[in-house]
Amino acid sequence: MPPPRRPADDPPAPLRGSRLPEGFVRAEGIPDDAIVTVFSVRLEQSGHRLDRWLSLELPRLSRSRAQRIVEAWAFDARGRQLRPAHRVRAGETVVVFRPRWEEPEVPRDVTIVHADDHVVAVDKPAGLPVHPTARFHQNTLTAVLGERFPGERVVLAHRLDRETSGVLLAARTPAAERALKCDFAERRVHKTYLAVVHGEVRDERFTVDAPMALEGGEVNVKMAVRPESRGGLPSLTRVEVVERLRGFTLVAAHPETGRQHQIRVHLAHAGFPLVGDKLYAHGDEVFLRCLDAPPDAETAALLRLPRHALHAHAIAFTHPATGAETRLLAPLPADLRDFCDAHR
């Protein structure tokens, strides 16, 4: 069966990369080796001040640092400088330059799970950021894909948190990019995650149906369960037990919606936080202690794992070129296998 036709006027996917827009005039004084990041403002971000918007796009960037960067090196698509108080508009292109810095080491051994002329699927290792952030530029999955497929624009169709491992889809053509992102937006892509959680889950299966929103506290990326009357967006995760361990459980989670940190928040809300989760298992203090330095011995013993125990195990989607139903797998990585083996 051929793939369903896509409307010709599908909105373009948000632009995020390092290729300057056509017609951009580079201002004098920007170092040749400056890091370039090109963004497209999403609909839900329209109206934000530019400095506030940038601190949300790059969560590890403080508001004051975002303001300094904007004052010096933020431009529109033609190269005109923008000011911190500029109100961003949906679809607007923002070009940000930043001085180059020495990045933390990350694993860059990315396994290609599948590749054809239209789609690439990778098994992302834990610790590798997907997109550039305030701390990472070259040590990202987008940079690795640029090295693996030189001269091509390989665009990720979705994302995973830095500490989450597993399968990720990317498009090699504009048509595949539009089709995959449309399918993600319409919830036609089905994902299965494996997670190791604290506690021995009794029920074989359960569902967490709990709306979510940004918590709004000191940690500006933290999500929380909130009723829809207080801004929560509908969020649903189906969970089933894979194996019960001594004091822990290996579960499979099937998110029906795609909210930020959804599985981590929902499992913690159900009383079974992820092993190693610095943000949702042990309170904000632990997360803040680990922001700029490795955890000390006491914190490491509390966390049990250097990263949160979440792995994107399987993804099922309609191939954008052939229409074939496709399912791809990334096996449980060694660190999570070893943890399970030690607690059987």
Q: Which residues are catalytic?
A: 161
What's the rounded Cα separation, in Å, for the pair 230 and 223? 13
User: CA 339 from chain center: how many Å?
Assistant: 24
Token pair listed for 73: 């090196």
Torsion sign across C-alpha atoms 172, 174, 179, 182: positive
What's the rounded Cα separation, in Å, for the pair 268 and 210? 12
What's the rounded Cα separation, in Å, for the pair 166 and 122? 8
Looking at residue 98, its amino acid is R
Residues in the chain: 344
Give, in order, the Cα–Cα distances in Å from 175 to each of 6, 8, 19, 323.
Answer: 9, 10, 19, 13
Looking at residue 62, its amino acid is S
Token pair listed for 29: 């004084």
What's the rounded Cα separation, in Å, for the pair 220 and 18? 25
- Going by the DSSP 8-state scheme, the letter that residue 52 receives in this structure is H
Asked if 339 contacts 196 with a C-beta cutoff of 8 angstroms, the reply is: yes
Residue 112 has a CB neighbour count (10 Å cut-off) of 12
